[in-house]
């Protein structure tokens, strides 16, 4: 037993020395990038665009594959991630739903701590939400949609989301709360932003507040009607779509975001290499253009691992403030 313990200690020391030295070889196998939604939504789209560029940025052995683990607006996958080995081969592209909104808004919170239970690697980008409606709705401007909601029967205007406690769910609840109509409209939860937008296109539901990246293609094709974005400024790829702030609801400001994280206690050299590779990928013009076309604004601010942790801390505080101000609470 003493010999075995000694061997293990030597092995750990050799591994640590290898990771710390200039010639350490990582990665030497495929990296899995988990996504907490089904294919087709904004998080899935962003993860695949990033994975295509991240693999080559990690060197000759770099290969990143996307693994969809849908359920509960990313909460199930986030809880799964914290129990994985912190070796850098299992990562997750998360968004505000699982790591800011859910901990702030769900009654009783989440089983995981969005700060203490993870290694924060880099922020990828931000994405406004967009109010969308099925094409047959007799309203085309933000003011007309608000008027339609005030005058119509609530049961005739069910809204869709990508899951309970997701950003689309909270955004819609905030939208109707600000108008003084909270709790009036039936909510239909789907497993991804893609499924959510498809339900609106088919008029199975009447409206929703989607992540722009989930709805961009259908808005361009006219399958759903883009009414207004939720940020303070119009999005560059959709300059003709106004903001809620400039039309029906002055001061309304809510954006989603995407970031790469791993389990806590990842080796610092691995974190450093992943962070550098993500920043290199985001610096490539082709990826930036593809993200913008998809409805995601690539991150341009300081983006070290410590910057990412500070960002997560600030976003969690912001959403707690939003929940306190609006009174929105979500049942798990």
Q: Which of 76, 221, 59, 58 is nearest to 67 (CA)?
A: 76
Q: What pLDDT sits at residue 69?
A: 96
pLDDT exceeds 90 at position 24: no
Cα 120 from Cα 104, distance rounded (Å): 19
Beta bridge partners of 130: 210, 229
* DSSP designation for 71: S
List of domains in the chain: 26-126+257-326 (3.40.190.150), 128-229 (3.40.190.10)
51 confidence band (pLDDT: 50, 70, 90): very high
Reading the block at residue 80, the tokens are 């799964």
Q: What pLDDT sits at residue 332?
A: 65
Mean of the pLDDT values across residues 251-269?
95
pLDDT exceeds 50 at position 1: no
Mean of the pLDDT values across residues 94-102?
93
Cα 299 from Cα 130, distance rounded (Å): 19
């Amino acid at each position: 037993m003493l010999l075995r313990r000694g061997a293990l200690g030597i092995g750990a020391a050799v591994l640590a020395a290898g990771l710390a030295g200039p010639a350490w070889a990582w990665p030497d196998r495929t990296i899995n990038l988990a996504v907490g939604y089904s294919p087709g939504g904004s998080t899935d789209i962003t993860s695949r665009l990033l994975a295509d560029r991240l693999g080559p940025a990690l060197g000759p052995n770099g290969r990143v594959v996307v693994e969809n683990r849908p359920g509960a607006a990313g909460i199930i996958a986030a809880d799964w991630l914290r129990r994985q080995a912190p070796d850098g081969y299992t990562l997750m592209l998360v968004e505000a739903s699982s790591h800011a909104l859910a901990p702030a808004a769900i009654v009783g919170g989440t089983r995981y701590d969005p700060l203490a239970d993870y290694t924060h690697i880099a922020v990828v980008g931000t994405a406004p939400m967009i109010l969308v409606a099925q094409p047959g709705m007799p309203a085309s401007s933000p003011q007309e949609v608000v008027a339609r909601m005030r005058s119509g029967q609530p049961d005739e205007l069910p809204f869709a989301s990508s899951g309970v406690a997701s950003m689309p769910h909270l955004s819609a609840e905030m939208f109707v709360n600000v108008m003084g109509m909270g709790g009036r409209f039936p909510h239909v939860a789907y497993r991804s932003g893609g499924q959510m937008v498809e339900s609106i296109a088919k008029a199975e539901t009447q409206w929703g507040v989607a992540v722009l990246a989930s709805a961009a293609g259908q808005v361009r094709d006219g399958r759903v009607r883009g009414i207004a974005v939720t940020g303070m400024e119009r999005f560059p790829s959709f300059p003709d779509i106004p903001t809620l702030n400039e039309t029906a609801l002055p001061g309304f400001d809510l954006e989603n975001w995407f970031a790469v994280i791993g389990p806590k206690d990842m080796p610092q050299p691995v974190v450093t290499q992943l962070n550098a590779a993500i920043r290199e990928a985001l610096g490539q013009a082709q990826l930036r253009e593809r993200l913008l076309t998809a409805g995601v604004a690539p991150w341009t601010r300081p983006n070290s691992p410590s910057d990412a942790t500070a960002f997560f801390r600030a976003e969690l505080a912001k959403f707690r403030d939003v929940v306190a101000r609006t009174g929105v609470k979500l049942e798990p």
